[in-house]
Amino acid sequence: MTTLREINFDGIIGPSHNYAGLSPGNLAATANAGATAHPRAAALQGIAKMRANLALGLVQGVLLPHPRPDHEWLDRLHTNYADADAVMKARALSASAMWAANAATVSPAPDCADGRCHLTVANLMTMPHRSHEAPATLAQLRLAFAHPAFAVHDAIPAPFGDEGAANHMRLATRHDTAGIEIFVYGEAGGRFPARQHVEASRAIARAHRLDAARVLYVQQSEAAIAAGAFHNDVVAVANEGVLFAHEQAFANPNGVYEALRAILPEVAIVEVPAAQVSLDDAIGSYLFNAQLVTPADGGTTLIVPGEARDHPRVWRWLQAHLAGNGPIRRVEVVNVRESMANGGGPACLRLRVVADPATIDPRFLVDTATLDRIAAVVSEHWPESLPAAAIGDPRLIEDITAARRALLSALDLEELA
């Protein structure tokens, strides 16, 4: 008998973590362009978040940093790191694979006609610095999910942009029951690009063999994209029977809610009014880019970044919801400031997979002792600081390469070198 659990696979923040400002539409990333990053602190903050998940009784996994710089990508562009210009160097060095929510779209076995858990790697084609992540992600996912219980699909081809789980939600009575899969796509975003194409979402639903009657394709509001919600998970998040969304997250919110209630009458919809928390408030605090989880004690919990607590209107709304005995029963605060400064909160850092942990390569699952080993490698090998001017430094490249190899060795995953 299999035991399906939701597992959060967090991306370990890589040693090349930097602030190059490569992502138009990501307001935090562009605002901090050129600042000095702190890869060691960033990775240790991510590890602390994983420890907090374990303390809640959640199952925790990891995904590994990609090889950086991406020399194979540069080879295909007929150049090399030494000869590339500053922008191309930064794109090749990007540590953005740390945001595992963009790694893939995941459909649990209860939703799929063949009874397997399906994962489709995201192509991330909209942004050049992310467009070369898919091959390394695919290699990790095919290793971690090699068991016959899984089907791992290659990325959807161009020109249809797919940004993975950041634009996908799932609602179900419980994680191990059949659910509703919600694919959120963009049509236009004013000054910023809409990154998720509906054609990519439809292709993923076909690949995953989903029941069309339990799939919704929902348009993200143009106002949200224009305000800096470059992914849906900046304005909405779902867990089991709870949808937590901003009033302006979707182009037609009432239509979305009606469709959900028709399929899952017991769904609890928590909509935050724009009059109390504006889009700017939500995006600045990353209120919705939170992990909405069901811990061991069963009380739906929202894991928010420290910025949400620091924002008076956002924190006031959260406290009022808790006092009102709403569906979200607890709020936990984590420090992921280094990730936040590059435009990624707690939800960006994790990919949710509902599966039997026994079917997953155990090297990708972590406990406290494993996190201790990872933290020791990070403390010894990750750069303490990475100024923007250091991106082209050959010594930095040597250090980054050695740091990643040390991590792979500590986790017995040298085949990913």
- Over residues 95-153, the pLDDT tens digits come to 999 999 999 999 999 999 999 999 999 999 999 999 999 999 999 999 999 999 999 99
Indicate if the pLDDT at residue 407 is higher than 70: yes
Annotation says 175 is catalytic: no
**Residue 2: pLDDT band by 50, 70, 90 thresholds?**
low
pLDDT of residue 338: 93
Asked whether 167 and 196 are in contact (CB, 8 A), the reply is yes
Q: What is the pLDDT of residues 279-301, one digit of tens each?
A: 999 999 999 999 999 999 999 99
Instruction: Give the residues across from 118 on adjacent strands.
Output: 107, 151
Indicate if the pLDDT at residue 1 is higher than 60: no
Annotation says 163 is catalytic: yes
Q: Rounded CA gap, 335 and 345, in Å?
A: 9
Indicate if the pLDDT at residue 188 is higher than 90: no
Task: Give percent of the chain above pLDDT 70.
Answer: 99
Asked whether 163 and 201 are in contact (CB, 8 A), the reply is no
Indicate if the pLDDT at residue 191 is higher than 80: no
Structural domain total, the chain:
1
Distances (CA, A) of 325 to 321, 330, 331, 357: 7, 10, 13, 33
- Residue 137, H or E segment: helix 134-144
pLDDT of residue 244: 98
pLDDT of residue 326: 93
pLDDT of residue 34: 82
168 vs 31: which has the higher pLDDT: 168
Q: Rounded CA gap, 89 and 92, in Å?
A: 5
Indicate if the pLDDT at residue 371 is higher than 90: yes
The tokens for 10 are 């967090």
**Residue 194: pLDDT band by 50, 70, 90 thresholds?**
confident
Which CATH number does the domain housing residue 138 bear?
Answer: 3.75.10.20
pLDDT of residue 197: 94
pLDDT of residue 33: 80
**Which residue among the candidates 6, 117, 118, 163 is catalytic per the annotation?**
163
Q: Rounded CA gap, 219 and 184, in Å?
A: 6
pLDDT of residue 272: 98
Annotation says 231 is catalytic: yes
pLDDT of residue 261: 97
- φ, ψ at 120 (rounded to 5°): -115, 120
pLDDT of residue 54: 98
- Domain range for residue 214? 5-416
Indicate if the pLDDT at residue 28 is higher than 80: no
**Which residue among the candidates 112, 181, 332, 348 is catalytic per the annotation?**
348
The tokens for 238 are 């779902």
Asked whether 253 and 223 are in contact (CB, 8 A), the reply is no
Tell which residue, 189, 183, 193, 110, has the closest CA to residue 159. Answer: 193
pLDDT of residue 345: 93
pLDDT of residue 195: 87
**Which residue among the candidates 231, 311, 321, 381 is catalytic per the annotation?**
231
Q: How many CB atoms lie within 10 A of CB 415?
A: 8
**Residue 202: pLDDT band by 50, 70, 90 thresholds?**
very high
348 vs 29: which has the higher pLDDT: 348
* DSSP label of 177: S
**Residue 65: pLDDT band by 50, 70, 90 thresholds?**
very high
